[in-house]
Amino acid sequence: MKLLGRFLLTILALSLVSYGISGTAYAAIEPLSVTTNKEFYVEGATITISGFVKDYDTSDPMKSQDVTIIIVAPNGNLVTVDQITPDSDGNYSTTATAGGMINVEGDYTVKAKWGAQANQTVFKYGGSSGASPAESGEQEGTTATINAGSFDPEPALDEEPMAASQPVCGQGTVLKNGVCVAEQQKKGGGCLIATATFGSEMSPQVQFLREIRDNTVLQTQSGSTFMTGFNQFYYSFSPTIADYERENPAFKETVKIAITPMLTSLAILNYVDIDSEEEMLGYGIGIILLNIGMYFVAPAVIIFKIRNRK
């Protein structure tokens, strides 16, 4: 009996240990990972940035978003911004060249963002070399000419020192007050309520609204006039609603259900060709009336019928 008891106790202990190991191994898989192929780079080296999206699913629009990669220099400037589409297994990869925009010696931060998930890693860069060969040749030629003269050369002054000190911004960034910052959308503001509802500016629903606004509505004079008035009304209350959505998950789900019919009605614009002001006005008024019917007329009719039955 003692031998049997020890045997059962050993089996139980091994089961618990194996369960703990498997749980730890599963927990080690991050929702979003990002890494570089080396920890240190020299000028001209290829920086390979790769990672894995745990929940990536090409069949689900909410889980098939692109991964946004941002490289930040040691001085806080944005070097580059890139978007990568993972493969069917959730793996993604991109490359950058050390040098050019990556020219300051120090630690560079690589930030990855996918939906609400974010992660980052760091690599070191040894710094770029000084002047290029062409610039060195010009400097030597100037020195030789001065020494050949019959007068003592005066110390040369650097021309346009302020221009030389300006950082070079990468793709997706612009120079503002001496610092590279992310380039803002030129055609309109952000969809605050939709972004708070669906969790990210990169969500398919927010991208859909932005494309409808920029590529369809704002392409006509009547659409631009409408958006000007609409933005004044929309941004008067949308920041408050967006903040409350982030604080209250139940309210967030309610808003998601409420705006779904509107998103469905706007999808009509994807299937029509709008080539004139008259067509824009016709489809625009039609969609507005459709939404009025869905959000006001239909509920009013239902309430009216329910009261009459009583």
Neighbouring residues of 212: CB distance < 8 A, sequence distance ≥ 6: 266, 269, 270
216-266 tens-digit pLDDT: 888 888 888 888 888 889 888 988 998 899 899 999 999 999 999 999 999
Neighbouring residues of 217: CB distance < 8 A, sequence distance ≥ 6: 223, 224, 226, 227, 280, 284
- Weakest mean pLDDT among 93-107, 168-182, 249-263, 270-284: 168-182
Give CA separation, 33 vs 69, 85, 111, 112, 141, in Å: 12, 14, 10, 8, 52
More confident residue, 169 or 298: 298
Helix-strand-coil percent breakdown of the chain, rounded to 5?
A: 50, 20, 30
- pLDDT of residue 183 exceeding 60, the answer is no
Kindly state the average pLDDT of the residues 179-185. 51
Confidence band of 9 (pLDDT split at 50, 70, 90): low
Confidence band of 159 (pLDDT split at 50, 70, 90): very low
More confident residue, 40 or 28: 40
Q: What is the pLDDT of residue 48?
A: 94
Q: What is the pLDDT of residue 145?
A: 39
In terms of Cα–Cα distance, which of 71, 81, 84, 67 is closest to 41?
Answer: 71
51-108 tens-digit pLDDT: 999 889 888 877 888 899 999 999 888 888 888 999 988 899 999 888 878 888 999 9
- pLDDT of residue 188 exceeding 80, the answer is no
CATH fold for the domain made of 32-128+166-182: Immunoglobulin-like (2.60.40)
Structural domain boundaries in the chain: 32-128+166-182, 192-309
95 touches 50 (CB < 8 A):
no
Largest CA distance in the chain: 112
Q: E strand or H helix at 225, and its extent?
A: helix 221-234
In terms of Cα–Cα distance, which of 62, 51, 177, 54 is closest to 111?
Answer: 51
In terms of Cα–Cα distance, which of 99, 112, 106 is closest to 47?
Answer: 99
* Average confidence score pLDDT of the chain: 77
